[in-house]
Structure 1
C-alpha cells in the first residue's frame, strides 16, 4: 500500500496513506514506513518542526522496485499506472 501510493503520487504525507480506510492502524503504517526508510527505499523530508511532520518519497532504490511492483499488479490481475523510467517515452 505504501509503495503503491508513493509510485502513484510521488510524495505523500502520513495522512495521505489513509490507513484507517484500508483497515490498518496508524501504528502499523508508521512501523512499515520506518522499515522502508531504514532499508533505504523511502526517504523523509521534514516539513514541520513542532510537532515533527514529514513528506515521504521514494529513493533511487525505491524507484528500482517499479518493475517488481508492475509485475505484482499484473500477476494479481490488476492494472498498474506506473511506468518504470526506462520504459517512459521522452516526448
Structure 2
C-alpha cells in the first residue's frame, strides 16, 4: 500500500504572513539556496561550492523541504547526466524582491559587503 503524502504546510506560530514566511525560510540556509539558484546554481555540487559552506546533510534536508513546499523543483540535468538538477518554481522566483531588499540592506548597513556586490549579480 503506498504511503499517504502528508501536507507539507509547516506548523504556524500565528497567521501573521511574516511569521509564516519565517516558519519556512527562517533557518540559516534556505534563502541562501534560493539566492544560489537565482545566481545559476542547479546541482548539489553547485550548492556545496558556495562560500558559506553548507554541510551536505543540511543541504539535502533543505532541498527536500523547499521541494515539498513548492519553492523549487527537481528537473533533469541539461547535460543528460543521472544527477538531478534543481530550479526555482514561480513561488520561488517570487522571492527575488525579498532577496534584493535584503541585499540592498546589507550593502548599506553591513561593512565588508561591497566586494560581494561586484562579484555577484543575480541571473
User: Which of the five TM-score ranges fits, normalised by the shorter chain?
Assistant: 0.7 to 0.9
- Unaligned residue ranges in structure 1 (runs of 5+): 84-91
Alignment of 1:50-65 (within 5 A): 53-65=83-95
Q: 2:102 aligns with which of 61, 72, 75?
A: 72
Q: Which residue number corresponds to residue 88 of structure 1?
A: none
Is 1:82 aligned to 2:112, yes or no? no
Normalising by structure 1, we get a TM-score of: 0.72
Q: How many correspondences in the alignment?
A: 78
Q: Cα–Cα, structure 1 residues 4 and 28, in superposed 2: closer, same or farther, change >3 Å?
A: same
Answer whether contact 1:70 1:82 (CA < 8 A) is retained. no
Q: 2:44 matched to which residue of 1?
A: 14
Q: Considering only aligned residues, what root-mean-square deviation do their CA atoms show, in Å?
A: 2.2
Among candidates 40, 46, 60, match of residue 30 of structure 1: 60
More strand by share: 1
Q: Which structure has the larger Rg over C-alpha atoms? A: 2
SS of aligned partner of 2:86:
strand
Instruction: After superposition, give the CA deviation of every residue in 1:16-55 in whole Å (9 maximum; x if it has no partner).
Output: 112585332100011111111111110001441xxxx310
8 Å CA contact 1:19, 1:26 repeated in 2: no
User: TM-score, normalised to structure 2's length?
Assistant: 0.55
Whether the aligned pair in 1 keeps the contact of 2:73 and 2:88 (CA below 8 Å) is yes
